[in-house]
Each structure stands twice: as C-alpha cells, then as structure tokens.
Amino acid sequence: MQLSAFDYTDKDLEKLLASLYNGEIDPLNLPEDLYLAVAKFVMGGVEKGLSNPAVEFGEVDQKLMDALSENIHLFSAAKTFNFTLEASDSMFDKNGKLLPFEDFKIKATQVFEKYHGEIEHGTIKGGWLEAEYNTALSQAGHVKKWNQIQETKHLLPYLIRNEVSDATECDICASVNGVCLPADHPFWNENAGDLHFNCRGIVEQADKGEGESKEWDEDEIKQGLKKGDDAGRTDAFKFNPGKREEIFATDGKSQHPYFQIPKPYQKFAEQNFGLPIPQIEHPQLTKPQQKELNDLPRSKVHSKAESMQQEKSLIRNSEKSIG
C-alpha cells in the first residue's frame, strides 16, 4: 500500500533526542513538529479513505471531515504524549541514574521506531504509525459507507459483513463472515468497522428478499462473537466509526490506549496537551461565517491557554510529591 509522506527527517529526530536529553522537550512540553507530522500523515489515510466515490461529498461530509480531523489531532497529541513520556523515562537506568547521551540515544531511538517506524527518505517502515495509517484509511471508508447506509436503508434494509477469504484471513474475521442482519440491528454498533488492525472486511447492503433469506439468528450471532473474542479480538475495535464519527475511540470501552492518560496528566490532556488543532478552512463560507465556525467551542478540547502554566506547576508538584 502506498503511504503518504511522513514529514519527519533523520535531522528532526536528532534534534528531538537532543531536546529530550537537555529538558527542552518533556511530557509537559511536547514536540509540536512531531505532533503535526503524525497528524498530517494519519489524516492522509483518512482523506484517502473518504475519497471513495461511492458516496457523494456534500454538506454532511464536510461536517464529518471536521469531526474526523479533530479526532485525528486528538489521537496524534495523545500518541505524541505517550511517546515523549516513554522516551523521557529511557534517560535513566534502573537505579534512576542519568545515562550518557549516546546510551540514551540508542534507547530513545528504539522507542521512536516502535511508535513511528524507521524513517527512510520521507517514508516509514514498520512501527505502529504504519498500522495506524492503514486503520485510518480503512475506518474512514467505513464511516463514509455508514453515511450511505443511512441514506439508502429504506431501499436496502439489510447489511452483510463480508471478509476477504484467502490464505491470510484471520479467525477474528472468519467468526462473523457472512453475518446478515437489518441495518438498525444493535450488532452493527460494534461490528460495522474494522475488527482488528489491518482488517480487510467490508459491510455491504442487501434488499429485503436477500436479507431475510440470509439473516442470522441470535444463537449464530452469539457464537460468532464468542469465536471472535476467543481468537483475540479486543475492545478497541468494538465500536461503529460511522456512528461515533471517530477513527480512534476517545472514550468508553473501546477507548484507544493512547487516551488512557496517567492521573497527574489528565487535566493537561483535556487541553490537548497544549497542542493546537488547526482550523479547517471551508471555501464555501464567507470570512464572517468561517470566523463564527472557528469561534465555536470544541466538543472535546477545552481552550484554557491562560491556565497552562498553572496546570503544569500543579502536575510538577504532584510528581515531586509522588517521587
């Protein structure tokens, strides 16, 4: 799969590691350039997933793009925080003694590559970021498909989940392959998107005749879901991205692990870790309309810039008392 370019170079990484070691970057002062590079990269997957021409791009989709962009920036900020926290911890040995820079550099680079992969000429290989890009691409397709389902379910009232049946099909996907149920069945609250990382399953629509002839009963549903859980399916993929308008769940039982923030940092997290969420420009709006949109309070991010230093001081004092 062709990935978008990742705007982070070896030189950027060298600078980041030096800033971590000298204290310019820490969990309360996150690297904004890395955050924006991650957000841009993952949004590339979202945009590619939404480019499927099966659903027309209209007003609803523009609002949807706003919601998904916010979700990706929240996700990218939480990812950057988790990386920075872990990389900062790698500065010390098991006895709490500061490591020489060259030893720290080796350990911190390993942490970076776990979160982001290896950088080669503006592309990445391996690491969690590549899987997250693929998830963004796939889940965005599910989001757009769900919009189409809502618009046409009066004509095609059933949904069928079809998995790719080949040598690489996993037991998680096989557990619900072929499930057929009405579009409003609660089953789809947790099973209309990806079932795991790099999932290739799709949801297709069916008319009443086909749907009734293939409909699963409650025992078949329970058995299928149990097989999936037994095969290792996690709660992180048990949500409907179209209903939630999220690529990565920010709360609830499906909350992505990045959003599970240690208690001393939770207030800081509510401010998106002090990182900006770029405004999306809407060409069809006048400047006053755009300003009105920009001035609206965000659903999940509280803009409290004036209290940032106070919050940071409280967290640092909390860390000192814990230590």
Domain-wise residue ranges, the chain: 10-132+250-322, 156-244
Buried (b) or exposed (e) across 291-310, using 16+ Cβ within 10 A? eeeeeeeeeebeeeeeeeee
Long-range pairs of 52-61 with CB within 8 A, sequence gap ≥ 24:
52/141, 52/144, 52/145, 54/144, 54/145, 54/148, 55/144, 55/145, 55/147, 55/148, 60/147, 61/144, 61/147
What sign results for the dihedral spanned by CA atoms 125, 32, 272, 20?
positive
Helix (H) or strand (E) holding 206: strand 202-206
Q: Distance between CA 308 and CA 303 in Å, rounded?
A: 10
Residues 227-274 have pLDDT tens digits of 999 999 999 999 999 999 999 999 999 999 999 999 999 999 999 999
C-alpha to C-alpha distances, 255 to 92, 93, 120, nearest whole angstrom: 30, 32, 31
Helix (H) or strand (E) holding 243: helix 241-244
Pick from 137, 248, 160: nearest CA to 208: 160
C-beta of residue 20 within 8 angstroms of C-beta of residue 108: yes
Give phi and psi for 95, each to the nearest 5.
-95, 5
Place of tokens 């204290």: 23
DSSP string, 271-299: TGGG---PPPP-TTS-HHHHHHHHHSPPS
State the CB neighbour count (10 A cutoff) for residue 320.
Answer: 8
List, in sequence order, every residue forming a beta bridge with 204; answer none if it has no partner: 160
pLDDT at position 3 is: 55
Task: pLDDT tens for the chain, 323 residues: list them.
Answer: 455 678 898 899 999 999 999 999 999 999 999 999 999 999 999 999 888 665 454 344 678 889 999 999 999 999 999 999 999 999 999 999 999 999 999 999 999 999 999 877 656 677 899 999 999 999 999 999 999 899 999 999 999 999 877 666 789 999 999 999 999 999 999 999 999 988 989 999 999 999 999 999 999 999 999 999 999 999 999 999 999 999 999 999 999 999 999 999 999 999 999 999 987 665 555 556 555 555 544 444 333 333 444 444 555 555 555 45
Place of tokens 């969690």: 128
Max Cα distance, the chain (Å): 70
Residues 144-183 have pLDDT tens digits of 999 989 999 999 999 999 987 766 678 999 999 999 999 9
The three-class DSSP label of residue 169 is coil
Cβ-Cβ contacts under 8 Å for 190 (sequence gap 6 or more): 238, 239, 240, 254
pLDDT at position 306 is: 34
Token pair listed for 283: 């060409």
- Looking at the whole model, is its pTM more than 0.85? no
C-alpha to C-alpha distances, 61 to 64, 151, 288, nearest whole angstrom: 5, 13, 22
C-beta of residue 199 within 8 angstroms of C-beta of residue 176: no
DSSP string, 41-80: HHHHHHHHHHT-TTS---HHHHHHHHHHHHHHHHHHHHHH
